[in-house]
């Protein structure tokens, strides 16, 4: 299988090259030239397999330049019971709430307690193997822009991985105290963490700019280094996410909630559009899919896009209690537009250019039609997020985080508006303990004034009886290693300095 660029159909690279490079030289994103399609018989086989075996099947159909042994090595080292708490890293918890069944797929049992681990525990394995195939001897410099969760998950995935250096940039006031503490306490000799004065989009724009700054690229080349990306623009991030949707479908069949062949709805709390795009790709592969419900917080640029066909980032950036979704430029939407335009690279490039120059674009009528057929977009306010956590907890004793709450709220609104009885899988993207302050204030119905993060954590445990995940508890006594705060326009120099090239 080969991969092409959303902005240049003439580009054609192997999966190893797509993963090693991260982004296409023309600025486009890599997409598979075709999708493997699974029929009923293939799904029958998958039903009898565990998560790791399902992952091997899906990965081997996309990574055709990897051997079966290489794929097995990646999967078996990534999704261990030791790292994910059990042999199923993505268990589904079913709850009855307000007359509806919520099938909550918990994607946060990994080492950093957010769903990013599902991809970032395996990406270093995929990347080091890809580098060996395509760029022998070169060392990869991984640059990450993060709204909080990607940063820590990438640091944990890449720390002390041979032939890699990783530098993470996060918005200084745009992440939760726990996220900041998790990042700043990371061990490892190849890691760097730096705050920037700005929001997530500034960090993301800054990283994209470094990738194309000639002077920096040259300095790296001269020293046997190359850039790569651990952001969800990298195909190696998206692919492992397809697996858990296929696996969730199998689990729903095995649990007797659906029959093989029945359609499901999928609800995803969305920021950069990576997670929901993986669900869309699972649909392209034959997973029976009715609606993709795209849930946003007050940064509801995607809700407007799905409802009107106009993407317009010219609006205030709002800092919310679900910071990992505080994003106005959803990078992975580019891949959807490319596929829905009939793989039209020129049209995709036009939209992306308009986004860069005008901050907005309107898609064609044919794209609009498919988007409204397949997607439903909704958003929820800060109060609604907290009310949802509180109502769900009081009714079912289930404690969800602020991002998952956005998904639950938007799904409930969708049910009210449509009456759609299709069974739904809701992606739960983080442990409530990553956002203890907001979650505790929701449960207690009042503002939390304690200064110390772990005082809040302890109160949340005391009030709810829900245990804090071990990896978060482990950071309690760790001291911060990093404290740099810089202006976004000095990021290229910072990278050169951190790599000792200046
Ligand atoms: C990253 C993240 C999201 C958004 O996922 P995208 O793939 O960027 O759409 C939602 N919730 C949490 C907790 C996250 O860390």
Whether residue 386 sits in one domain with residue 465? no
Q: How far is CA 130 from CA 71, 133, 235, in A?
A: 11, 5, 12
Domain count, the chain: 2
**Whether residue 111 has pLDDT greater than 90:** yes
pLDDT for position 201 = 86
How far is ligand 1, taken at its centre, from the CA of residue 66, in Å? 28
Q: How far is CA 454 from CA 441, 450, 460, in A?
A: 15, 9, 10
Whether residue 103 sits in one domain with residue 248? yes
Mean pLDDT score across all residues of the chain: 95
- Please indicate whether residue 4, judged by its CB atom, sits closer than 6 Å to ligand 1: no
The number of angstroms, rounded, from the C-alpha of 438 to the middle of its chain's C-alpha atoms is: 21
Whether residue 405 lies inside any domain: the answer is: yes
- Please indicate whether residue 295, judged by its CB atom, sits closer than 6 Å to ligand 1: no
Confidence of residue 255 (pLDDT cuts 50, 70, 90): very high
Whether residue 440 sits in one domain with residue 430? no
Say which range, 18-27, 159-168, 280-289, has the weakest mean pLDDT: 18-27
Whether residue 400 lies inside any domain: the answer is: yes
Whether residue 408 lies inside any domain: the answer is: yes
C-alpha radius of gyration, the chain, whole number: 21
Whether residue 257 lies inside any domain: the answer is: yes
Strand bridging mode 264-269 / 191-196: unpaired
Tokens 């335009």 belong to which residue?
341
- Please indicate whether residue 116, judged by its CB atom, sits closer than 6 Å to ligand 1: yes
How far is ligand 1, taken at its centre, from the CA of residue 167, in Å? 20
- Please indicate whether residue 274, judged by its CB atom, sits closer than 6 Å to ligand 1: yes
Whether residue 284 sits in one domain with residue 371? yes
Count Cα atoms within 13 angstroms, Cβ side, for 134. Answer: 21
pLDDT digit string, tens, across residues 319-351: 999 999 999 999 999 999 999 999 999 999 999
Whether residue 110 sits in one domain with residue 244? yes
Give the residue-averaged pLDDT of 213-236: 91
pLDDT for position 47 = 98
Whether residue 464 sits in one domain with residue 449? yes
pLDDT for position 252 = 98
Tokens of 383: 């109060």
Whether residue 449 sits in one domain with residue 402? no
**Whether residue 304 has pLDDT greater than 90:** yes
Ligand 1 atom closest to Cα of residue 404: 11
DSSP 115: T
Whether residue 297 lies inside any domain: the answer is: yes
pLDDT digit string, tens, across residues 53-104: 999 999 999 999 999 999 999 999 999 999 999 999 999 999 999 999 999 9
DSSP letters spanning 411-446: HHHHHHHH---S-EEEEE-B-GGGGHHHHHHHHHTS
pLDDT digit string, tens, across residues 393-450: 999 999 999 999 999 999 999 999 999 999 999 999 999 999 999 999 999 999 998 8
Alpha helices in 300-450 (DSSP H): 301-308, 333-340, 345-357, 365-374, 382-396, 402-418, 436-444
**Whether residue 208 has pLDDT greater than 90:** no
| CATH number for 94 | 3.40.50.1100
Whether residue 454 sits in one domain with residue 320? no
Give the separation between CA 286 and CA 113, rounded to whole angstroms: 30
Whether residue 440 sits in one domain with residue 319? no
Whether residue 353 lies inside any domain: the answer is: no
Give the separation between CA 354 and CA 235, rounded to whole angstroms: 24
How far is ligand 1, taken at its centre, from the CA of residue 301, in Å? 15
Strand bridging mode 3-5 / 30-32: antiparallel
Whether residue 396 sits in one domain with residue 450? no
Last residue of a domain, one of 405, 435, 465: 435
Whether residue 466 sits in one domain with residue 317? no
Expressed as residue numbers, the domain containing 444 is 436-473
Confidence of residue 222 (pLDDT cuts 50, 70, 90): very high
Whether residue 387 sits in one domain with residue 257? yes
- Please indicate whether residue 269, judged by its CB atom, sits closer than 6 Å to ligand 1: yes
**Whether residue 212 has pLDDT greater than 90:** no
pLDDT digit string, tens, across residues 357-379: 999 999 999 999 999 999 999 99
440 and 460 Cβ atoms separated by less than 8 Å: yes
Whether residue 231 lies inside any domain: the answer is: no
The number of angstroms, rounded, from the C-alpha of 170 to the middle of its chain's C-alpha atoms is: 15
Tokens of 287: 């997973």
Confidence of residue 229 (pLDDT cuts 50, 70, 90): confident
Q: Please say if 116 is a catalytic residue.
A: yes
Q: How far is CA 341 from CA 6, 56, 277, in A?
A: 10, 31, 15
pLDDT for position 174 = 86
Whether residue 209 lies inside any domain: the answer is: no
Catalytic residue among 56, 57, 116, 129: 116
């Amino acid at each position: 299988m080969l991969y092409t660029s959303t902005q240049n159909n003439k580009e054609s690279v192997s999966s190893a090259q797509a993963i090693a490079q991260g982004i296409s030289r023309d600025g486009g994103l890599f997409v598979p030239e075709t999708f493997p399609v699974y029929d009923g018989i293939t799904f029958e086989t998958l039903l009898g397999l565990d998560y790791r075996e399902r992952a091997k099947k899906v990965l081997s159909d996309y990574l055709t330049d990897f051997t079966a042994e290489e794929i097995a090595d990646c999967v078996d080292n990534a999704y261990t019971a030791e790292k994910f708490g059990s042999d199923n890293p993505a268990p589904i918890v079913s709850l009855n709430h307000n007359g509806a069944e919520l099938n909550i797929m918990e994607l946060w049992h990994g080492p950093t307690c957010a769903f990013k681990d599902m991809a970032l525990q395996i990406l270093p394995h995929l990347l080091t193997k890809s580098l060996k195939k395509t760029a022998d001897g070169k060392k990869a410099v991984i640059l990450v822009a993060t709204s909080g969760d990607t940063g820590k998950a990438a640091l944990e995935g890449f720390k002390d991985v041979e032939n890699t250096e990783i530098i993470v940039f996060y918005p200084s006031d745009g992440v939760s105290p726990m996220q900041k503490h998790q990042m700043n306490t990371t061990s490892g000799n190849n890691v760097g963490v730096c705050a920037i004065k700005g929001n997530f989009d500034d960090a993301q724009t800054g990283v994209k700019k470094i990738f194309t700054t000639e002077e920096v690229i040259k300095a790296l080349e001269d020293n046997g280094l190359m850039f790569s990306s651990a952001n969800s623009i990298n195909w190696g991030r998206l692919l492992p996410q397809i697996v858990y949707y296929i696996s969730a479908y199998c689990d729903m069949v095995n649990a007797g909630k659906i029959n093989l062949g029945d359609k499901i709805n999928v609800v995803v709390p969305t920021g950069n559009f990576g997670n929901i795009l993986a669900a869309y790709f699972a649909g392209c592969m034959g997973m029976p899919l009715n609606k993709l419900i795209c849930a946003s917080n007050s940064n509801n640029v995607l809700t407007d896009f799905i409802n009107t066909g106009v993407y317009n980032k010219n609006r205030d950036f709002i800092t919310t209690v679900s910071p990992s979704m505080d994003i106005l430029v959803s990078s992975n939407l580019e891949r959807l537009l490319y596929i829905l335009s009939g793989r039209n690279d020129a049209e995709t490039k036009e939209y992306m250019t308009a986004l860069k120059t005008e901050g907005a674009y309107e898609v064609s009528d044919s794209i609009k039609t498919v988007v409204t057929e397949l997607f439903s977009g909704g958003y929820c306010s800060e109060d609604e997020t907290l009310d949802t956590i509180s109502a769900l907890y009081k009714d079912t004793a289930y404690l969800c985080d602020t991002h998952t709450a956005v998904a639950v709220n938007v799904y409930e609104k969708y049910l009210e508006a449509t009456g759609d009885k299709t069974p739904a899988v809701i992606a739960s993207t983080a442990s409530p303990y990553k956002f203890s302050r907001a979650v505790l204030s929701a449960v207690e119905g009042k503002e939390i004034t304690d200064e110390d993060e772990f005082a809040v954590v302890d109160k949340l445990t005391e009030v709810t009886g829900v245990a804090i995940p071990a990896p978060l508890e482990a950071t309690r006594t760790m001291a911060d290693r990093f404290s740099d705060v810089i202006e976004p326009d000095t990021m290229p120099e910072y990278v050169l300095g951190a790599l000792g090239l200046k």
